[in-house]
Amino acid sequence: MMSFFTSDGQMFPATLILTGPMKVADIRRAEKNGYDALVVALGKNHREFSVPPEETKDLKIGDEIKLMFAAGDKIKVTGITKGKGFQGVVKRHGFGGGRRTHGQKHSEREPGSIGGGGRAGGRVAKGIRMAGRMGGDRVTIKNLKVLDATPETLLISGAIPGNTGALVKIEAI
């Protein structure tokens, strides 16, 4: 991420995304594969997109594809969030933890009571927020604005999901 300053002095937090060069790796046709799609390669990564056959009739394998975004366009970005491993309830769900005084020896960051004879009938009910693996989820951030666009890079306002160098899907809204 970086800071982007407009000509009138406004500052935006921004993320720089490398978008090219992308090439057509394969074209799937309904007659041969049972569906219509376009397989795009960015380096060693391949992604398949459902595309109507009339949009791929002029393309052939090896053709270069450029993104057609301009400054001011609204987009949505889908990616896999950073994996954080096994985390407790304070970090994973924002629990407050127990008191730090009056005999609380090692239970400052524990979840507290999770079951009992009340609503759950002496068992742990489904959906109880507990410690576990955090991150690594597919997330879509909508209504992001393109601040600047070149043939091989996009500058997008705000943060996007994933590690540095992760592959993301960018769609126009």
Backbone angles phi, psi at 136, to 5 degrees: 70, 25
By the 8 A CB rule, do 106 and 100 touch?
Answer: no
Per-residue pLDDT tens over the stretch 146-168: 999 988 899 999 999 999 989 99
Type and span of the H or E element at 54: helix 53-56
Per-residue pLDDT tens over the stretch 8-61: 999 999 999 988 788 999 999 999 999 999 999 988 889 898 988 888 888 889
Count other C-beta atoms under 10 Å from residue 46's C-beta: 13
What domains does the chain contain, in order, with CATH numbers? Answer: 2-83+137-172 (2.40.30), 89-134 (no CATH)
Please tell me the pTM assigned to this model.
0.77
User: Using CA atoms, how far apart are residues 143 and 11, in angstroms rounded to an integer?
Assistant: 18
